[in-house]
Amino acid sequence: MENFENLGLSRLVLDNLPGLGLTKPTPIQAQGIPHIVAGRDLLGLAQTGTGKTAAFGLPMLTRLIAYGKRPAPKEVRALILAPTRELATQIAENVTAYAQGSPIRVFRVVGGASINAQCERLARGVDVLIATPGRLLDLLERRALNLSETRYLVLDEADQMLDIGFIHALRKIARLLPEQRQTLLFSATMPKLMEELADSYLTDPVRVQVAPPGQAAEKIDQGVHFVNQGDKAALLAEYISKHPGELAVVFGRTKHGSDKLAKLLTNWGFSVTAIHGNKSQGQRERALAAFRAGEVEVLVATDVAARGLDIPQVAHVYNYDLPNVPENYVHRIGRTARAGRDGRAVAFCAPLEVADLRAIEKAMKRAIPVIGGEPPFELPAAAMRKPGAKPQGAKPQGQRGRGAKPVGAKPQGTKPAGAKPKPAAAVAAEGGNRRPSRRPSRRPKSEQSARAAGL
């Protein structure tokens, strides 16, 4: 099937596709859409950036249009759950564009926005509700919506929802949904817990897998640069300076560290903004809007931006800190090489991150080419940090401490004349190990962590 006309989609939906640049279905769309139109449950496995939103959005709209009846007050016809605000926003924008000119009403609810305004909007009923699990539970507790007539459930990026602790929230929501429904589960990876989730939620599903789970897009030019932790900031500035005018996403591990790094780069003369779970919804949306418009060229982010950030102009992804979860590396670098473009991804690996690097390579079943620095010795098991663990004890030999001058070339090009990197701030940009204290909660720990992240 080489075009959307042959996939059984509604004419109202088809008429919108050319204007959105959708002329030929991707593999996940071509294989998945006919089954969804036919009413089958579906488990879709595809890497990030392969068009999963259209794969479930277009056929779901087709079925809702055919139903031909408006939802009652507080009623939700179709529910799409996403792990982060950014992904929920991206889905809502796409589904709204697909439904243009149809009677379908689309609404998005996420944390950080006025819950009273969301309650007022839901009172009129919606055809398609896109939500993060935490905010949906808040609204359900207020009895602002009714899921008893919800006939379509989509779990997008389900593996990430499990990673950040939404499993308890998903179970609560599932109990409120009717048994007779169509369920679609989309994921880029398939850990064991995902298989259990699929068995619990799906009924005789069709499995569509268009690429091995955990594989990165072919058009991404990947590389790893070995560097001491204290020298990362200066090295990052050097890389960014080589590509003026090109958009870059920099991924850090912590909220505090991402803020510190963004401030440091700003002081060095770069155009930078940052997003993470501690930012308000308005701050996150304004930051992304400025980045998308090219008003700022560097976005420093935590993994809240690892999925749902669809900006084709992103040319570079820098993993300033390697991710805790190996599979997240693939999602991070998937922010580049979108819409058929090429992209570049560079991972900075400090001596204590070697185990994280090896875990990433094992998950991808391929080695990442070394493009800079000297590969460290494979440390003894007792000295090597486990993947995702925080540094403890003494610094590895050769790593410079707080206040030491960074090694190597100073950033060139966009920094102000005469400005010098502030080594102490560069080290502080690592994020540290200190966390703000939290009051005890009666919620399950996994749900606490997800809500605390602002998702």
- Whether residue 327 is found in the same domain as residue 187: no
Pick the last residue of a domain from 184, 209, 234: 209
Q: How confident is the model at residue 259 (pLDDT cuts 50, 70, 90)?
A: very high
In a domain, 448, yes or no: no
Measured CA to CA in angstroms, residue 55 lies from 106, 161, 236 at distances of: 17, 19, 37
- Whether residue 101 is found in the same domain as residue 30: yes
The whole-number pLDDT of residue 280 equals 80
- Whether residue 29 is found in the same domain as residue 161: yes
**Both structure tokens of 25:** 């279905």
The whole-number pLDDT of residue 319 equals 97
- Whether residue 265 is found in the same domain as residue 411: yes
**Both structure tokens of 272:** 């930078």
Average pLDDT over residues 317-331: 90
Q: Nearest-CA neighbor of 237 among 425, 433, 432, 431?
A: 425
- Whether residue 371 is found in the same domain as residue 304: yes
Q: What is the tally of structural domains in the chain?
A: 2
d(CA 74, CA 65): 19
How many residues in the chain? Answer: 455
- Whether residue 34 is found in the same domain as residue 138: yes
Instruction: Answer yes or no: is pLDDT of 396 > 70.
Output: no
Q: What is the pLDDT of residues 362-380, one digit of tens each?
A: 988 899 999 999 887 654 4
Instruction: Answer yes or no: is pLDDT of 423 > 70.
Output: no
Measured CA to CA in angstroms, residue 37 lies from 6, 34, 183, 232 at distances of: 12, 5, 12, 49
Instruction: Answer yes or no: is pLDDT of 248 > 80.
Output: yes
Pick the last residue of a domain from 177, 209, 241: 209
Q: How confident is the model at residue 308 (pLDDT cuts 50, 70, 90)?
A: low
Full residue range of the structural domain in which residue 294 is found: 220-428
> What average pLDDT does the chain have?
82
pLDDT winner (highest mean) among 60-64, 188-192, 287-291, 363-367: 60-64
Give the DSSP per-residue string, 42-66. Answer: EEEE--TTS-HHHHHHHHHHHHHHH
Longest dimension (CA), the chain: 69
In a domain, 146, yes or no: yes
As a whole-number percent, the residues of the chain with pLDDT over 90 amount to 56
Return the axis-axis angle of helices 133-141 and 445-452, rounded to nearest 10°. 110
Q: How confident is the model at residue 164 (pLDDT cuts 50, 70, 90)?
A: low
In a domain, 437, yes or no: no
In a domain, 114, yes or no: yes
Q: How confident is the model at residue 385 (pLDDT cuts 50, 70, 90)?
A: low
Contact in structure between 241 and 415 (CB atoms under 8 Å): yes
In a domain, 368, yes or no: yes
- Whether residue 225 is found in the same domain as residue 187: no
- Whether residue 325 is found in the same domain as residue 408: yes
- Whether residue 47 is found in the same domain as residue 141: yes
- Whether residue 245 is found in the same domain as residue 393: yes
Q: Nearest-CA neighbor of 232 among 203, 260, 194?
A: 260
- Whether residue 105 is found in the same domain as residue 245: no
- Whether residue 273 is found in the same domain as residue 419: yes
In a domain, 447, yes or no: no
Pick the last residue of a domain from 185, 209, 233: 209
Residue 69's CATH number:
3.40.50.300
d(CA 355, CA 378): 9
In a domain, 361, yes or no: yes
Average pLDDT over residues 343-354: 95
In a domain, 436, yes or no: no
